[in-house]
Structure 1
Amino acid sequence: MPIHSLYPPLPPVPDANVVHTMFGRPDQAEWPDYTIHVEEKTGRKRTYKHFLKQVELGATALGAKLSHGGLGLNGDGDEMIGLMGDNSLEYIDIILSLLMVTTPFALISAYSTRFELVHALKVTKVTRVFVDAKLLDNVLAAIEDPDVHITPDKIYILSGQPVNGRKSFGQIVDLVMRNKVPLEPVRPAKKDTLAYLLMSSGTSGLPKAVMITHGNDTFSHYQLTVINQLAVPFLGPRATMQIIVGVLPMFHTYGLHAYVLRATLAPATYVILEKWNTVQYLKTITKYRATTLTLIPSAIHQLVNHPDIKTTDLSSVNIIISGAAYLPPELAAQMKSFLNEKSVVEQMYGLSESTLVPFTRPTEGMLNMPANTTGILVPGLTARIVREDGTDAATGEAGELWLRGDNIVRGYWNNSQANANTFVDGWLRTGDRFSADAKGYFFFADRAKDTLKVSGTQVSPMEIEDVLFAHPEKLISDVSVAGVSGGRTDDEKVPRAWIVLSSSGQKKGPAAVITALEQWHRESLSKYKWLRGGIEVVKEIPKTPTGKIMRRVLQEEYERRAKKSWAKL
């Protein structure tokens, strides 16, 4: 039977542009003009009012008429803007500016190879791209693909040194300022107005584009507001203004919400780091007396195993929030040992298809929850735990987690088959297994879907399989990719491939094929997708009578051999 949130119902959620929940609220009139952003790489700082002004100017640069020096984006549905860059003030500004002028955008990984970028551009059908200067060559190479319909004049610089003859976001903003163009107002939006696309592997296959609407984000903001209002009496030191280190990539839903979309719900200072570097991260905590750290398990693993952590002053940190993948209790305890006694390390379960998180762990003191629980449903969300036969699981029984609520997305962009597999009668099938007790507390069981989590990022086995199949010499006739032991944590798996040689592969020989495929896939895929578990030649891939690959058979055989090998050492 459906399980409902323990939180009170949400107040009426307006049918409006999500920007209205971020700026111009009555409570913000009482705020001091505090420092909201510090960009560590450049040293740039800005106050809340300066930030708001920059977003308004950015929206004007994008939305003003061409004759006034703007780009003339009118939000009529003909444009899809691709964004590709590392964390920066410009990245924050352009996201909010595009939301203001109701022009949808696609967030594309800054780590994309040409192969991955071509796929992302084809799937999202972007019409223009704003890209960091250092990543420009990658985009110019990708648009040479005949299936990517973007001309070079539709590519702009987002952040970094200007490139001769190519407009940058900053230059367009400066132009409308010089021309004294009237500021563009926040344009109206409905609950189902598309806001942006996030690239996600979903449950299988190549990355899909998740559609997030203005209504999804607005509803998500209201959920957090209700949670925070009830938590205020229990916050203690966290009730004061927080200093947050922003290092997670903003093209990922976690970083996007943590540092951009939820950054104005309460006064806080965000120290923006371009990308992850363990030494720099530890220095930044001390330099700015950071209070809040948003991390993923693999980053925590790097921190606790780095020698500098023993000499780093972490006394200012009062909370660490880990997300994007399962955080083993042992690793959480190890991280906690470096913090002050009252600090907490919390785990968050989230997925792009639910906008951000379906569960929350109420602040300590609100509920007497078991340490191993994932949490309770956020306000306004309903869940089911479903057996393989489609019936509801009993209390305490594990099954697939299904979710329903206005923070559940509309589906995948132009992918009817994936939508049919993932969204059923208004419910999102998460592909993850949970159980729930009689109190409404949820407990993670395991990941039912084939998708792996490597360094907090989804990795699709099918995407890697497709790359191996695409080798120009056609070296394999069949392949299966699955996760095996070898990650940074006991829980994390790394990709391993089992291949069946084709006739050309047999002529080349097993050793030469493995060498060729190692080089090929590393050139085609981002590093976190590399086959760190290795490549193995097999006679056949085990399958069910219906043709479904039996990955577990391959995994168990590998683990058995690996365990036996370790025992001999």
Structure 2
Amino acid sequence: MYHKSMFPDLPVVPEANVHHLLFNRPDQQAWPDYTLYVNATTGKRWSFRQFVERVRDGATVLGTDIEQGGLGITLEKGEIVGILSENCLEYIALLHSLLAIAVPFAMISGYSTPFEFKHAVSLSQATRIFVSPSLLPLALTSGIPDDRIYMLEGHIEGRLSYEDLVNRARRNRMPRLPVKHATRDTLAYLVFSSGTSGLPKAVMISHGNLTNSFLQVKVVTQEVNKFQEPPVWNGPNGMQVLFNVLPIHHTYGLHISCFRAFFSPLTVVLLPKWDVNAFLNAIPKFRATTLYLVPSLVHQLVHRPEFQVADLSTVQIVHCGAAYLPVSLSQTLLSRFTGLERISEGYGMSESTISIANKPVPGVLNGRAKNKPGSTGVLLPGIEVKVVREDGTLAAVNEPGELHVRSGCVALGYRNNPKATKETFVNGWLRTGDRIRIDEDGVLFFEDRAKDTLKVSGLQVSPVEIENTLLVHPDKLIIDASVAGVSGGRTLDERIPRAWVVLSPEGHKLGASATMAKLDAWVRESLSKYKWLRGGIEVVDIIPKSPTGKVLRRQLVENYEHGKKAIQAKL
């Protein structure tokens, strides 16, 4: 059956650049000047007014014609700007400058191998790149002209930086460029999402998608404010302090770091890269009130001795997303915080801009929106879904099936991948590939992933991508391969990649053990760490397949898990 959000409908989404909603609202005129962003490692701080001025000066110099001292970057020229960096304040300023001039950007993972990076650049058709100093050698392999590769932060002799460009606009007193017009369907950015088709896909998010997502937050906040007084925050001067350690190139980290700060006055503290000790030390130092985590980080935290003695007294809210958080892990985390009643959780994906459902604040909508243990929450405003059986018919209440989503938040599609777009975006519906059950109260429960994609450390991993990597080993050691998720992750529900391979004559000649060692080394060289075969490699005589040629991954996994349990039982 069909299910619609129980929240009030969204306002009409305007045909406008999302920059106006983020920076040009009347209520912002009364905001004080306060610390908006802090780099937890360097201590660099920007106030709200400083940041807004930097964004506007950046937009001006990026979009102004070359003859007038700018870079002449425009949407009309087909420009797409790649960003390759760890978390930093300049990353956020740059992307807002680009949104203001309606030039799309592609956020490329700083953890990319050379192979993954070249694929991302090719797929996105990036015409320029802004890069952090540590990743400059990788950026120089892009094939993009050298004079179109800029530093995002820091200074390197002979290479322009975002800071240099902003200073140029100020020094030359360039006339401010007005915000460029954008429609609901104007491309805002590309974020990379793995799927069953193998290599990462570039999800196209529009200005309208972002506006829809932000209006969802507005409607939910209005409903919560009807029965609940605004919280009194423990941060400096009574401010809310968001602490984000998640990478900005990931949808979850992007929205926390770059967008949430413009709904109401608050401070965002950024950690460039995840480091447990730096994270725990920064919480009391910056009086963090709100934490954003993923289950794998939660697992690391609760098993670290330092976490048991850390000063967490300022924390009032903990959000966890990107993957399902087991109830046992949630309870363990909760036990370390005084006054924290629950962990805020939700369900979403890059193809839906960010969120589809969230666990509601208890009492919202006069108690109609239920917060049930083990659930992923209720549908956000403006979201309509249907649960579909394998035969295409609609599932009943409490019956699992694939979740299909219809909303203004659903992405435009995948860039330069019409096949995947046609398979995933069907007649206005987004096929999530996830098996979901919706109960009689409209509460969603995650059952499992209908598609083969794994979630490792909150990041998507495509088995097909790993299979293809194994099959192109230069020594041609195997003739067939299958990859699937097996137990052994940091949480009970997390699955890690394991490969089953069929040896070629060259592989037989080398021997099974030596072949597996070579294949493992090849994967480690070719793919990011979270895609490594932590579940191991097994040599088999044949990969089981259905009559239609579909690999029977479940059979491989069940045989492995059964054998693993049998061995454990003997110990």
* TM-score between the two structures when normalised by the length of structure 1: 0.97
1:408-429 Cα deviation digits (max 9, x unpaired) = 0111001111011111110000
**2:149 pairs with 1:155:** yes
**2:218 pairs with 1:220:** no
Match of 1:117 in 2: 117
Task: Determine if contact 2:114/2:138 at 8 Å carries over to the other structure.
Answer: yes
Once structures 1 and 2 are overlaid, which stretch shifts more, 273-282 or 344-353? 344-353
User: 2:147 corresponds to which letter in structure 1?
Assistant: D
Task: Determine if contact 1:68/1:176 at 8 Å carries over to the other structure.
Answer: no
Compute the displacement of 1:514 (Å). 0.8
Task: Determine if contact 1:247/1:273 at 8 Å carries over to the other structure.
Answer: yes
State the aligned residue count: 562
Where in structure 1 are there 5+ consecutive unaligned residues? 144-149
Task: Determine if contact 1:484/1:559 at 8 Å carries over to the other structure.
Answer: yes
Q: In structure 2, how many angstroms separate the alpha carbons of the residues matched to 1:489 and 1:246?
A: 21
Q: CA distance change for structure 1 residues 53 and 279 in 2, over 3 Å: closer, same or farther?
A: same
Q: In structure 2, how many angstroms separate the alpha carbons of the residues matched to 1:469 and 1:512?
A: 16
Q: Secondary structure at the match of 1:434?
A: strand
Aligned mate of 1:281, from 279, 282, 291: 279
1:262-281 Cα deviation digits (max 9, x unpaired) = 22011111111101000110
Counterparts of residues 256-271 of structure 1 (less than 5 Å): 256-271=254-269
Task: Determine if contact 2:384/2:407 at 8 Å carries over to the other structure.
Answer: yes
Counterparts of residues 304-383 of structure 1 (less than 5 Å): 304-366=302-364, 367=367, 368-383=370-385
Compute the displacement of 1:203 (Å). 4.1
Aligned mate of 1:181, from 174, 182, 186: 174
Q: Secondary structure at the match of 2:6?
A: coil
Compute the displacement of 1:238 (Å). 3.4
Match of 1:146 in 2: none
Counterparts of residues 234-273 of structure 1 (less than 5 Å): 234-235=227-228, 238=231, 240=233, 241-273=239-271
1:308-344 Cα deviation digits (max 9, x unpaired) = 1121111211111100011000000000000013442
1:343-384 Cα deviation digits (max 9, x unpaired) = 421222110000000102221222343222211111111000
Counterparts of residues 420-439 of structure 1 (less than 5 Å): 420-439=422-441
Compute the displacement of 1:305 (Å). 0.8
Q: In structure 1, how many angstroms separate the alpha carbons of the residues matched to 2:157 and 2:29?
A: 42
User: 2:183 corresponds to which letter in structure 1?
Assistant: K
Task: Determine if contact 1:22/1:262 at 8 Å carries over to the other structure.
Answer: no
**2:395 pairs with 1:393:** yes
Q: In structure 1, how many angstroms separate the alpha carbons of the residues matched to 2:68 and 2:275?
A: 42
Q: CA distance change for structure 1 residues 237 and 282 in 2, over 3 Å: closer, same or farther?
A: farther
* TM-score between the two structures when normalised by the length of structure 2: 0.96
Task: Determine if contact 2:436/2:445 at 8 Å carries over to the other structure.
Answer: yes
Compute the displacement of 1:433 (Å). 0.6
Match of 2:527 in 1: 525
Match of 1:300 in 2: 298
Q: In structure 1, how many angstroms separate the alpha carbons of the residues matched to 2:341 and 2:228?
A: 11
Q: In structure 2, how many angstroms separate the alpha carbons of the residues matched to 1:466 and 1:122?
A: 18
Q: In structure 2, how many angstroms separate the alpha carbons of the residues matched to 1:428 and 1:281?
A: 36
User: 1:215 corresponds to which letter in structure 2?
Assistant: G
**2:168 pairs with 1:166:** no
Match of 1:500 in 2: 502
Match of 1:83 in 2: 83
**2:200 pairs with 1:207:** yes
Task: Determine if contact 1:374/1:441 at 8 Å carries over to the other structure.
Answer: yes
Q: In structure 2, how many angstroms separate the alpha carbons of the residues matched to 1:239 and 1:409?
A: 36
Once structures 1 and 2 are overlaid, which stretch shifts more, 337-346 or 481-490? 337-346
Q: Secondary structure at the match of 1:438?
A: coil
Q: In structure 2, how many angstroms separate the alpha carbons of the residues matched to 1:412 and 1:88?
A: 27
Task: Determine if contact 2:84/2:139 at 8 Å carries over to the other structure.
Answer: no
Aligned-residue sequence identity (percent) comes to 51
User: 1:258 corresponds to which letter in structure 2?
Assistant: I
Q: Secondary structure at the match of 1:62?
A: helix
1:159-207 Cα deviation digits (max 9, x unpaired) = 23x2222211111111121111011111110000001101001343210
Q: In structure 2, how many angstroms separate the alpha carbons of the residues matched to 1:39 and 1:392?
A: 49
Aligned mate of 1:478, from 471, 477, 480: 480
Q: In structure 2, how many angstroms separate the alpha carbons of the residues matched to 1:469 and 1:130?
A: 33
Q: In structure 2, how many angstroms separate the alpha carbons of the residues matched to 1:234 and 1:493?
A: 41
Q: In structure 2, how many angstroms separate the alpha carbons of the residues matched to 1:53 and 1:476?
A: 57
Match of 1:411 in 2: 413
Counterparts of residues 61-140 of structure 1 (less than 5 Å): 61-140=61-140
Q: In structure 1, how many angstroms separate the alpha carbons of the residues matched to 2:360 and 2:77?
A: 40
Compute the displacement of 1:439 (Å). 2.1
User: 2:286 corresponds to which letter in structure 1?
Assistant: Y
Task: Determine if contact 1:18/1:215 at 8 Å carries over to the other structure.
Answer: yes
**2:197 pairs with 1:195:** no
Compute the displacement of 1:455 (Å). 0.2
1:89-130 Cα deviation digits (max 9, x unpaired) = 100001100000111111100000001111111111111111
Task: Determine if contact 1:434/1:443 at 8 Å carries over to the other structure.
Answer: yes
Q: Secondary structure at the match of 1:389?
A: coil
Task: Determine if contact 2:378/2:442 at 8 Å carries over to the other structure.
Answer: yes
